[in-house]
Chains A and B, each alone.
Chain A
């Protein structure tokens, strides 16, 4: 499994990297905003799963999600929104524009394992 972590916080990317590595995944790409992720996605395919933050500068997660879903070449990429925005309206919006799943920060390694496992 190849995973991309998209979060403007290097600390959060490091926490997620620690959690995912402990689950046995070592092929990990990191991006610090949506635009950076788009650039890296094009040269790092195939990527199986993207853990995507919502609030980021330059390009936020929901804009990135819409752009990825508009490009058929990224059709197979699973996207998990990974954000502190936990209102139902946010979850509905993310799923509506193409997120495969949603996990609310803060989360445990077990919760992340469960989300990755059901994809």
Chain B
């Protein structure tokens, strides 16, 4: 995957978290090809991309980080068993994908996005097709840490 296509997703994450979560100290780590072992995932939201390119965008959280983020979004405490948790993460990834595909670098691909799917379960991983080369960006903030996982391939 050409890393220039990563920028719209990273920018969309920053904009979304600043506006919806009120995060002022969000930091993006270096892009990696493999998920760091120190970032176990309990809940992921994933959206498919189709059109002149194909791929997916996913956000991976621990339950604690997801609870913290969604509680801040709705201004009310959210427990790890509440349905708002997966719904909120799904909406976040939906907004990030929608914002990213409008970026000038991605507009020529006339992308469509799917509805968000959620993956729940401690320590799960997302397996992309064999030919895919997903890129992983770890984010950290005082509200919680999470991973952005993007796979993008021109048809």
List 10 A-B pairs, minimum CB-CB distance, nearest first. A84-B98, A11-B88, A106-B19, A9-B91, A86-B102, A84-B95, A106-B20, A105-B95, A11-B87, A87-B102
Q: What number of A-B contacts does a CB cutoff of 8 Å give?
A: 57
Considering the chains assembled together, what is the distance between the CA atoms of A11 and B96 in angstroms? 15
Contacts of B102 in A (CB 8 A): 85-87
Total contacting residues, chain A, CB less than 8 A: 20
In the complex, which residues 64-98 of chain B have their Cβ closer than 8 Å to any Cβ of chain A? 70, 73-76, 83-84, 87-88, 90-91, 94-98
* A38 at the binding interface (Cβ < 8 Å): no
Considering the chains assembled together, what is the distance between the CA atoms of A14 and B86 in angstroms? 14
Q: Given A57-B115, A84-B94, A85-B102, 14 other A-B contacts at CB below 8 A?
A: A9-B87, A10-B87, A11-B70, A11-B74, A11-B84, A12-B91, A14-B74, A14-B76, A55-B94, A55-B98, A86-B99, A104-B99, A106-B15, A107-B19
In the complex, which residues 96-125 of chain B have their Cβ closer than 8 Å to any Cβ of chain A? 96-99, 101-102, 107, 113, 115
Q: Is the interface of A mostly helix, strand, loop or mixed?
A: loop
Interface flags, A1-31, vs B, CB<8A=1, else 0? 0000000111110110010000000000000
* B16 at the binding interface (Cβ < 8 Å): yes
The smallest beta-carbon distance between B85 and chain A, in angstroms, is: 9
Q: Is the interface of B mostly helix, strand, loop or mixed?
A: helix
Candidates A9, A11, A18, A84; contact of B97 at CB < 8 Å: A84
Considering the chains assembled together, what is the distance between the CA atoms of A40 and B97 in angstroms? 30
In the complex, which residues 54-92 of chain A have their Cβ closer than 8 Å to any Cβ of chain B? 55, 57, 83-87
Candidates A15, A57, A106; contact of B74 at CB < 8 Å: A15
Asked whether A15 and B87 contact (CB < 8 A) given A87-B107, A106-B19, the answer is: no
Contacts of A104 in B (CB 8 A): 99
Contacts of B19 in A (CB 8 A): 106-108
